[in-house]
A and B are shown apart, each in its own frame.
Chain A
Amino acid sequence: MDEEENPGERLKLVVTGHVDHGKSTVIGRLLHDTGFLPAGALEKAQRIAHETGKPFEFAYLLDAFEEEQKQGITIDTTRLNFATPKRGYVIIDAPGHQEFLKNMISGAADAEAALLVVDASRGVEEQSRRHAYLLSLLGIRQIGVVVNKMDLVAYGEAVFRQVETTMADFLASLGLVAKSYIPLSGLLGENILEPSSQLPWYSGPTLLTLLDSFSLAEGTEAQPLRLPLQDIYKFDDRRILAGRIASGTLRVGDTVRISPGGRETRSVSLEEWGGEGDKSEATSGESVGITLADEFFHQRGEVISHPATPPLVSTTFRANLFWMGRTPLRPGKKYILKIATRRVECEVSELGRVIDASSLTVMELPQEVRMNGVAEVAITTGEAIALDLFSVNHITGRFVLVDGYDVVGGGIVSLVQNAIAVDHAIFEQGKLQARCELFDEFFYSVEDYSVNKRCPPVLLFRVGDPLPLEGKSYSYPEFFDIAVMRDKMAVKIRAGRVVELQPLADLVYSGLPMVNGRGFAFRVKSREEWRQCQEEYAAATSGQDASLSAKWLDFHSYRRIYFASNSRS
């Protein structure tokens, strides 16, 4: 075992491809030839071959279950540590049989690079293509194609080129380009560590050089902070918020924002057991415990960020999804969504294209997604959640769906619609608080052909603070009252500034314009009308009554809609 150049580095590599094309054999051979087998493993595999009267297979080094060895097939995935002089690897062996696709996905989901193994004598087959598709869906863009069993085709270049062309075409249709195509024989160990004399026409990398040419996923320390809350502990007099930092860096003293609620506070300490007690900074990948200045009510599933770079907040997003459930996915049915540490009820509100991941055929008017299918979907959650696009943040941009006791699907977030920042403006006077969305911008999206909303970062107004009365899509008068129905609070604005907060019940109609917490004017002209309006709202079973809104609110008094594109730039 050589010392590695970069002992901290570890690249996660998954080995994929059609059943029987030699994935486990190639890995077994690689570990064997480089001396990385766990002590005793080779002897055990040889003994088993001897006892069962079957020829020794390098695949036995990975296929440890009796059923796997007896049937010569990988059922479940495993992970092994391996290292070259350059760096360490976690090598993930994936099964190729279609029936075990969920295990392949379990192995591949968090890999940074992949090998796609193709049997030279059989060429590209159904699962070769399906695995390639899933790799692209999972966001794995570094792929090396291994053309294995070259010994079966007399190490012929023509066969190799044929496989190369077929695979390159398919990958191109997914927007992927393989880093290299490597001919080799896993069984005989040709072109694994050393260039093979059997392949005089080939001058590309060996398997080992290919591995070292993959690049490590970029560190996420410098990205915006995301700390999904895992749990809140009160074991002693400290109230510790625990979680693992998904990206970015958190320092003691930072102002932080907690999504989806949107409240802001300050981080006071980073707690540790056994440390010096002076930890002042934590970064991506660390499991931490923090204490905060304000003891709001916190829950698992909230995401801590910095105020200027919060995650998106929404109840609707689009995603690319793969389905692993035995029962097909049905739009409208309730599932549980798990994204980072958040768990919430959801449904697939729209089924877009359903694709056969191997033939790339698109189904017309799909009603469901069957096991091993992939689809483009819109998902609506029962409550607002904090999330990111997968392209922006992997950990807060991917999710699984649970049906009953089982994880049945997984996906990555491709577009977030109607992103809202709940409670993004807060009025405060002493202990009194009122939330509002007066400064949200409504626009007609030229991409979606629908009305969307864009939200400003969190704003906090105290008595005396001026309000931004003019926006792109709103314009409020200098003097008015805000009636925040959900908080039962009123806020008085005079000469463009906050002058007072009071319970809504104490508010007397003064003849000034009245708007609700979302910036819509009340159609009231007298104390009598205001009283009647309040009574009807109080009697309504829910605030989301459209007829009530139609009767008492006017959209256009202070608000309008403008054209814009969804991109935030």
Chain B
Amino acid sequence: MDHLDELEAESVYILREAYKLLGKLAMLWSIGKDSTVLLWLAKKAFFGHVPFPLVHVDTSYKIPEMIRYRDQLARELGFELIVHSNQEALAAGMGPEQGRLICCAALKTEALQQLVRLHKFNGLIVGVRRDEEGSRSKERVFSERNATDNWDYANQPPELWNQFKTDFPPGHHIRVHPLLQWNELDIWRYIGREKMPISDLYFTHDGERYRSLGCSPCTGRVKSQASTVAEIIQELESTTVGERSGRAQDREDAYALQKLRKAGYM
């Protein structure tokens, strides 16, 4: 087995543990490269089936191509898709002008909370990776969120030998992180190896491409000539620019993401 085989086998194991042990489950699906890899791994884990719904938290500020691509893929790969927006906040005019972090908290964190309550999910599969940013680097594979969706990061339970946290009080839920140990290059190498469908936004248009997909007002593009997966891999092997450098919310304050994530952000 090579490195990608091992990452794949481990992620499949995690997905199967979640499906068996967590009760009502959903997979967060953001259309980006990580959630597309997640979906692919679920197909492998469950032999072509996706035995839980995919949920997309739609802020209404997403890049329009993303939404088109989302609906196309849902048709092609055949899975149940739940789209949810924080309607009250949007009706009240929430947007990045109110402050980026406030907007993220309302349109993503709060929307996610509404979803969990509405559908009574016990587990949410999320494609975060350790190498994305600091607070994620310290995550557990099965990470508990309490009744108010808070993450008690300073007192995480032990997690050893793939014996995950699967016992928790009613009202709590578990964030499952099957991609935690992958890094950005692994993701692209896997996409290339598996010849996976992937959003066109990652490839160059007029000398620029997206490295990370988010909301259009807050996600910038990087200079790039990469028009194939192989060229993206080549570019990443030599870059010194951070993956989330195009993401505005990371720059707001040193611990912005830690604070967002403590409150329930993905």
Contact flags A364-385 to B (C-beta < 8 A → 1, else 0): 0000000000000000000000
A235/B49 contact (C-beta < 8 A), A48-B254, A66-B258 known? yes
Total number of residue pairs linking A and B with CB closer than 8 Å: 159
Q: Is B158 a contact of A65 with CB atoms below 8 Å?
A: no
Interfacial chain B residues near A39, Cβ < 8 Å:
239-243, 245
Complex: A407 Cα to B160 Cα, angstroms: 9
Q: In the complex, what residue of chain A is closest to B137 when comparing beta carbons?
A: A78
Is A242's CB under 8 angstroms from B158's CB? no
What's the Cα separation between A65 and B154 when bound, in Å?
A: 9
Measured CA separation A455–B254 after assembly (Å): 63
**What residues of chain A lie closer than 8 Å to B243, measured between beta carbons?**
38-39
Is A533 at the interface (CB under 8 A from chain B)? Answer: no
Within 8 A of A (CB), among B138-177: 138, 140, 153-154, 156-161, 163, 165, 167-169
Say whether A355 faces chain B, with CB atoms less than 8 Å apart.
no
User: Is residue A196 contacting chain B, with contact meaning CB distance below 8 A?
Assistant: no
A410 with B160, Cβ < 8 A, contacts A1-B237, A404-B167 known = yes
Residue numbers in A under 8 Å from B17 (CB-CB): 230
Is A80 interfacial (CB-CB < 8 Å)?
Answer: yes
Q: Does B19 contact A (CB under 8 A)?
A: yes
- Asked if A400 lies at the interface with its beta carbon under 8 angstroms from chain B, I say yes
Q: In the assembled complex, which residues on chain A have CB atoms less than 8 Å from the CB atom of B9?
A: 244, 285-287
Given contacts A66-B254, A404-B167, contact A273 B131 (CB under 8 A): no
In the complex, chain B residues whose CB is within 8 Å of the CB of A235 = 46-49, 51
Contact status A65-B47, CB under 8 Å = no
Q: Does A308 contact B (CB under 8 A)?
A: no
Q: Which of A64, A240, A398 contacts B135 (CB 8 A)?
A: A64
Asked if A238 and B47 sit within 8 Å, CB to CB, the answer is yes
Contacting pair B137 A273 (CB below 8 A): no
By the criterion CB–CB under 8 Å, are B158 and A64 in contact? no
A434 to chain B, nearest CB (A): 33
Contact A407 B242 (CB under 8 A): no
Between B3, B9, B138, B158, the greatest number of chain A beta carbons within 10 A of the residue's beta carbon is seen for: B158
The reply on B20 being an interface residue by CB < 8 A is yes
Task: Closest B residue to A242 by CB, please name it.
Answer: B16
Q: Which residues of B contact A285 (CB under 8 A)?
A: 1, 5-6, 9
Complex CA gap A1/B240 in Å reads 11
Contact B167 A64 (CB under 8 A): no
How far is A242 from B5 in the complex, measured between Cα atoms in Å?
17
CB distance from B40 to the nearest CB of A (A): 9
In whole Å, how far is A490's beta carbon from the nearest beta carbon of chain B? 40
Q: Is A7 an interface residue (CB 8 A)?
A: yes
Q: Is the CB of B168 within 8 A of A410?
A: no
Measured CB to CB, the closest approach of chain B to A265, in angstroms, equals 20
Q: Is B255 an interface residue (CB 8 A)?
A: yes
Which listed residue, B19, B48, B158, B237, touches A407 by the CB 8 Å rule? B158
Determine whether A402 belongs to the interface, using a CB cutoff of 8 Å to chain B: yes
Q: Knowing A7-B2, A287-B13 are in contact, say whether A400-B160 is a contact too (CB < 8 A).
A: yes
Q: Interface code B118-139, partner A: CB below 8 Å = 1, 0 otherwise? A: 0000000000001101110110
1/0 per residue B187-228: CB within 8 Å of A?
Answer: 000000010000000000000000000000000000000000
Interface residue stretch chosen among A102-110, A115-123, A141-149: A102-110
Residue of A nearest to B42 (CB): A273
Q: Distance in Å from the Cβ of A338 to the closest Cβ of chain B?
A: 5
A106–B47 touching, CB < 8 Å: no
Segment 1-53 of A: residues with Cβ below 8 Å from B:
1, 7-8, 10, 38-41, 44, 47-48, 51-52
Q: CB of B100 within 8 A of chain A? A: no
Interface status of B183 (Cβ within 8 A of chain A): yes
| Docked complex Cα distance between A404 and B165 (Å) | 11
Residues from chain A with Cβ under 8 Å of B1 in the complex: 8, 283, 285-286
Task: Give A238 to B138 CA distance when docked, in angstroms.
Answer: 39
Partner of B169, one of A75, A106, A405: A405
Q: Do A230 and B13 have beta carbons less than 8 Å apart?
A: yes
Which residues 1-40 in B have Cβ within 8 Å of A in the complex? Answer: 1-3, 5-6, 8-10, 12-13, 16-17, 19-20
B181 is an interface residue with CB less than 8 A from chain A? yes
The verdict on A351 contacting chain B, using a C-beta distance below 8 Å, is: no
B103 within 8 A of A: no
Kindly list chain B residues whose C-beta atoms are within 8 Å of the C-beta of A41. Answer: 242
Distance A10 CA – B181 CA, assembled complex (angstroms)? 13
Residue interface mask A211-225, B partner, CB < 8 A = 1: 000000000000000
Q: Which of B44, B156, B159, B255 contacts A66 (CB 8 A)?
A: B255
Residues of chain A from 470 to 517 with CB closer than 8 A to chain B in the complex:
none
B43–A274 CB distance below 8 A: yes
Q: How far is the CB of A253 from chain B (nearest CB, A)?
A: 20
Question: Which of A7, A65, A79 interacts with B3 by CB under 8 Å?
Answer: A7
Chain A positions within 8 Å of B115 at CB level? none
Does any Cβ of B come within 8 Å of A98's Cβ? no
Produce 1/0 per residue, A55-92, CB < 8 A to B.
00000001011110000000111111100000010100
| A80 lies within 8 A of B46 (CB) | no
B45 at the interface (CB under 8 A from A): yes
Contact present for A40 and B242 (CB under 8 Å)? yes
Contacts of B156 in A (CB 8 A): 76, 103
B46-A233 in contact (CB<8A): yes
A304 at the binding interface (Cβ < 8 Å): no
Once the chains bind, are B163 and A273 in contact (CB under 8 Å)? no
Cα A65 to Cα B8 in complex, Å, equals 29
Known contacts A233-B46, A240-B47: A400-B161 contact under CB 8 Å = yes
Q: Give CA–CA (A10, B7) in the complex, Å.
A: 11
A523 surroundings in chain B (CB, below 8 A): none
Residues 236-261 (chain B) with a chain A CB within 8 angstroms: 237, 239-245, 254-255, 258
The 4 closest A-B pairs by CB, nearest first: A64-B134, A40-B242, A109-B160, A287-B12
Residue contacts A-B, CB under 8 angstroms, 30 given: A1-B237, A8-B3, A38-B243, A39-B239, A39-B240, A40-B245, A48-B254, A64-B137, A67-B154, A75-B154, A76-B156, A77-B138, A78-B130, A78-B138, A80-B130, A90-B181, A105-B158, A106-B159, A231-B19, A235-B47, A236-B49, A272-B44, A273-B48, A283-B1, A285-B6, A287-B8, A400-B163, A405-B168, A406-B167, A407-B163
Residues of A within 8 A of B (CB): 1, 7-8, 10, 38-41, 44, 47-48, 51-52, 62, 64-67, 75-81, 88, 90, 102-103, 105-106, 109-110, 230-231, 233, 235-236, 238, 240, 242, 244, 271-274, 283, 285-287, 289, 300, 324, 336, 338, 395, 398-400, 402, 404-407, 410
**A77-B138, A236-B49 given. 13 additional CB < 8 A pairs?**
A8-B3, A39-B241, A39-B245, A40-B242, A44-B134, A65-B138, A88-B3, A90-B181, A242-B16, A273-B47, A285-B9, A395-B161, A406-B167
